[in-house]
Amino acid sequence: MNKQSIPLLSPAIGTHRELVSFHFGPSDSGQKIYIQSSLHADETPAMLTTVLLKRRLLELEKQGALNAEIVLVPVANPVGLGQYVLGQFLGRFDLGSGKNFNRHFMQFSKLVERAKDALGSDAAENRRIVRELIAAELAEQKPLTEFESLQLALLKLSFDADVVIDLHCSLEAAMHLYTSEAAWPEFEPLSRYLGAQASLLATNSGGESFDETHSLLWWQLQQAMPADRPVPDGAIAVTVECRGQRDVSYEVAQEDADALVDYLVWRKAIKLDVKPLPELLSPATPLAGSEQFYAPVSGILVHRAKIGETIRVGQALFDIVDPLTDETTTLVSNTEGVFYMRRAIRFVTAGAPLGRVTGKKAFRTGVLLGA
Ligand SMILES: [Zn+2]
């Protein structure tokens, strides 16, 4: 293992942050796995999982069991961790610009046209050509802010990975993950090992997120190129939501770290015996089929359903109680699916997002991710 550090652009005189990464395994194996946690800064369930995963990888490396280069970034957002305001971490958005740390990533898909002209008949060579183009594009970037320099540093560590795993957590949530339809067969085993209660699929959610910049370019090239100029899977990417923000325990983090190791074994990135695949707890559903609930009025939020519960159409999910008029507004589900996440607040303003239930039928369009 070797530890590396990338200095971030200093936002103000006398302040300085760095992005630290841990690199395991042989760098010439032909397979690279990139795993980061806590891109929204205070996502501690994911961070603890990465700590335990790092310990395991150190042991496995000593045993000579690593078959791939594995890059681990346990603290993907040191900028957000510095945003500790009046006793609260505000790690989702950059306080300087208001930007979500997992949006606005430079999208590799801007290279599609240039890549198309450069590709030939050899799939492996085409992968190399496209990665070279991305590397050159990243080398040309000149970040102006600490936010931009953080995003660029993350992409420089990850752009040439075959598999990108982005570990987050939600507010109050069941284990769930996001990936593309095309990558689902490759990540279905991960969903099984993690015991994910929802797997949400979208090719392009429109959010310019970290995972999609990796996967979208390759998918778009695969759609555009004729069969005699083949494009391999250059990178597949998944975002894993390690339950809710307060679900921090050694037991659960160990289970999740073990599940990641099991998955890497399945991928042949680690030389151990493959563990039998557990059952898939819920079939994958389109992200565009998830129902998102918003408060029509302000008031006290009382939950009527449990996280991870399977919800029927018409089932009550939320009550909003007005303490002045005594009126209660009840929100019911219009889809049948899993209640996979909800906000952690218990008093809502009008228009506040409340939670989400999976649905089999896509009905939403436009940008599919929340702010
Ligand atoms: Zn997050």
Q: Are 9 and 148 in contact (CB under 8 A)?
A: yes
Q: Who has greater pLDDT, 368 or 249? A: 249
Quote the ligand 1 centre to 186 CA distance (angstroms): 22
Whether the pLDDT of residue 370 is over 80: the answer is: no
314 backbone φψ class: left, alpha, beta (φ>0; ψ -120 to 50) = left
pLDDT at position 363: 86
Quote the ligand 1 centre to 244 CA distance (angstroms): 10
pLDDT at position 367: 77
Quote the ligand 1 centre to 92 CA distance (angstroms): 7
- Summarize the confidence of residues 67-74 as an average pLDDT: 98
Quote the ligand 1 centre to 240 CA distance (angstroms): 9
SS3 content of the chain, % helix, strand, coil (to 5): 30, 25, 45
Quote the ligand 1 centre to 326 CA distance (angstroms): 36
DSSP 62-126: HTT-B-SEEEEES-S-HHHHT-EETTEE--SB-TTT--BTTS-PPPGGGGHHHHHHH--S-HHHH
Whether the pLDDT of residue 255 is over 80: the answer is: yes
φ, ψ of residue 221 to 5 degrees: the values are -65, -40
Give, in degrees to the nearest 5, the angle at Cα 127 between 126 and 130: 85
Q: Which residues fall within 8 angstroms of residue 362, CB to CB, at 6 or more apart?
A: 286, 288, 289
For residue 199, give both structure tokens: 């797997």
Quote the ligand 1 centre to 371 CA distance (angstroms): 11
Quote the ligand 1 centre to 241 CA distance (angstroms): 7
Gap between the Cα atoms of 62 and 96, Å rounded: 43
Please write the tens of the pLDDT for every residue from 97-113.
999 999 999 999 999 99
Looking at residue 287, its amino acid is L
Distance set, CA 200 to CA 286, 313, 360, 370 (Å): 5, 19, 10, 14
pLDDT at position 337: 97
Quote the ligand 1 centre to 39 CA distance (angstroms): 6
Quote the ligand 1 centre to 245 CA distance (angstroms): 10
Quote the ligand 1 centre to 130 CA distance (angstroms): 28
Gap between the Cα atoms of 218 and 108, Å rounded: 9
Quote the ligand 1 centre to 41 CA distance (angstroms): 8
Average per-residue pLDDT in the chain?
96
Please write the tens of the pLDDT for every residue from 298-354.
999 999 999 999 999 999 999 999 999 999 999 999 999 999 999 999 999 999 999
Quote the ligand 1 centre to 38 CA distance (angstroms): 6
Quote the ligand 1 centre to 115 CA distance (angstroms): 31
φ, ψ of residue 110 to 5 degrees: the values are -65, -10
pLDDT at position 364: 79
Quote the ligand 1 centre to 43 CA distance (angstroms): 7
- Summarize the confidence of residues 252-280 as an average pLDDT: 98
Instruction: Give me the domains of the chain, ranges plus CATH numbers.
Output: 2-285 (3.40.630.10), 290-357 (2.40.50.100)
First to last CA, the chain: 36
Please write the tens of the pLDDT for every residue from 18-69.
999 999 999 999 999 999 999 999 999 999 999 999 999 999 999 999 999 9
- Select from 21, 86, 24, 91 the least CA-distant residue to 264: 24
Whether the pLDDT of residue 146 is over 90: the answer is: yes
Quote the ligand 1 centre to 40 CA distance (angstroms): 5
Q: How confident is the model at residue 156 (pLDDT cuts 50, 70, 90)?
A: very high
> What residue spans of the chain are helical by DSSP H?
44-62, 78-81, 112-118, 123-140, 146-158, 184-194, 210-224, 250-266
Quote the ligand 1 centre to 119 CA distance (angstroms): 35
Whether the pLDDT of residue 369 is over 90: the answer is: no
- Select from 105, 240, 81 the least CA-distant residue to 170: 240
Whether the pLDDT of residue 205 is over 90: the answer is: no
Looking at residue 326, its amino acid is D
Whether the pLDDT of residue 274 is over 90: the answer is: yes
Please write the tens of the pLDDT for every residue from 168-177.
999 999 999 9
Looking at residue 196, its amino acid is A
Q: Are 288 and 368 in contact (CB under 8 A)?
A: yes
Quote the ligand 1 centre to 171 CA distance (angstroms): 9
Quote the ligand 1 centre to 226 CA distance (angstroms): 37
pLDDT at position 75: 98
